[in-house]
Amino acid sequence: MQTDLRGRDLITEQEWTREEIDTLLDVAWDLKRKRALGESHAYLRDKVMAMLFFFTSTRTRASFEAGMAQLGGHAQFIDSETTQISHGDTAKEIGEILGRYCDGIAIRQCDWNFGNQYIREVAQASRVPVLNMQCDVYHPFQILADMMTIQEKLGRDLRGRTINVSYAYASSYQKPLSVPQSLILLMTRYGMNVRLAHPPEFALMPDIVQQAKDNTKASGGSFEMMDEFDAGFKDADVIYAKSWGCWMATEDKAESAVIGKKYTNWITDERRMALAKESAIYMHCLPADRNIEVTDGVIDGPQSVVYDEAENRLHVQKAAMALTMR
């Protein structure tokens, strides 16, 4: 166990060691037990977390606010559009000033080719830890919650288990690459056999794919890419199929929508789930485009763990705050 994580930024789990990630997960399980038993765990009494949102949120905002309150502290909700951030506050100024007012800064900024850069500029100027609530490249807390959930369902030793990280069609909007990218980065570090399935236009960032491949050399897992939707399901232990935008092909939202309509048959349904192992679990970070990305029968069915997955956001985020902000 790593006992000195005070002051650490968490912008991507790829920048934390395996031991540090395991420590965070251990603390998350302890906090989950304490909450279940009604035991007080006010480790951050009188601490304040600034939560800066450039994008809308349901689970992220609710879980960070609830988590900070349960740890005995306070979370400030800061909307970029209703503050002077929209009128010129720079990333350096935000880091310098909020870092003096607060004990931690959490940011969601998903603008393509900007979000991750902005978060890092705030972190560089801040004297307190900066936590990435999602950017254009990474979504670390979602993926830490995913790992916690998979280990709860399949066991701590995931070597040899197969996860299908797949594109799925959605009509709502051109979603960031951050979830599939963080998924392939973390799961390859735990010895899993990772399949990445997507149409040609929906590639991920090449350097992220290369890092995932490199991760397998240390973990003993595997990384495979495919462009057939059904193939990714065959004998998989975990199905994680969701939409993302074709950002590597085009930044034009209208063009992306036209491209996406070529793949409306990329939907997780009961027939596809039957191709996976009988014990396979279905995961999604939510919100899902129901009966477009996934059928009601799958997401509400016995193999779905999406609500356990959503709950675990609370516990991993509390663990990160407790470890870095104490």
pLDDT tens digit at each of 326 positions of the chain: 999 999 999 999 999 999 999 999 999 999 999 999 999 999 999 999 999 999 999 999 999 999 999 999 999 999 999 999 999 999 999 999 999 999 999 999 999 999 999 999 999 999 999 999 999 999 999 999 999 999 999 999 999 999 999 999 998 778 999 999 999 999 999 999 999 999 999 999 999 999 999 999 999 999 999 999 999 999 999 999 999 999 999 999 889 999 999 999 999 999 999 999 999 999 999 999 999 999 999 999 999 999 999 999 999 999 999 999 99
Helix (H, G, I), strand (E, B) or coil at 131: strand
Bond preceding residue 200 cis, omega within 30 of 0: no
Are 126 and 183 in a shared domain? Answer: no
Element (H, E) at 149: helix 140-154
The residues that bridge with 106 in the sheet, in sequence order, are 51, 131
Residue 94 — φ and ψ, nearest 5°?
A: -65, -45
Determine, yes or no, domain membership for 4: no
Sheet with 74-79: strands ordered across: 74-79, 48-53, 104-109, 130-135
The tokens of 148 are what? 């916690």
Q: Is residue 6 part of a domain?
A: no
Cβ 132 vs Cβ 140: under 8 Å: yes
Are residues 157 and 64 part of one domain? no
Flag whether the pTM goes above 0.95: yes
Q: CATH number for the domain including 133?
A: 3.40.50.1370
Cβ pair 13, 185 in contact under 8 A: yes
Residue 134 counted as domain residue? yes
Residue 6 CB coordination number (10 Å): 10
Residue 283 lies in a domain: yes
Residues in the chain: 326
Let me know whether 163 and 63 are in one domain: no
DSSP reduced 3-state for 196: strand
Count structural domains, the chain. 2
For residue 14, what is the DSSP state? Answer: G
Tokens (6 digits) for 55: 């994008």
| Residue 29 belongs to domain spanning | 13-139+312-325
For residues 145 and 151, give the distance between their C-alpha atoms in angstroms, rounded to a whole number. Answer: 10
Instruction: Extract the tokens encoding 171.
Output: 């009509």
HEC assignment per residue over 288-309:
CCECCCECHHHHCCCCECHHHH
Rounded Cα gap, residues 200 and 11, in angstroms: 28
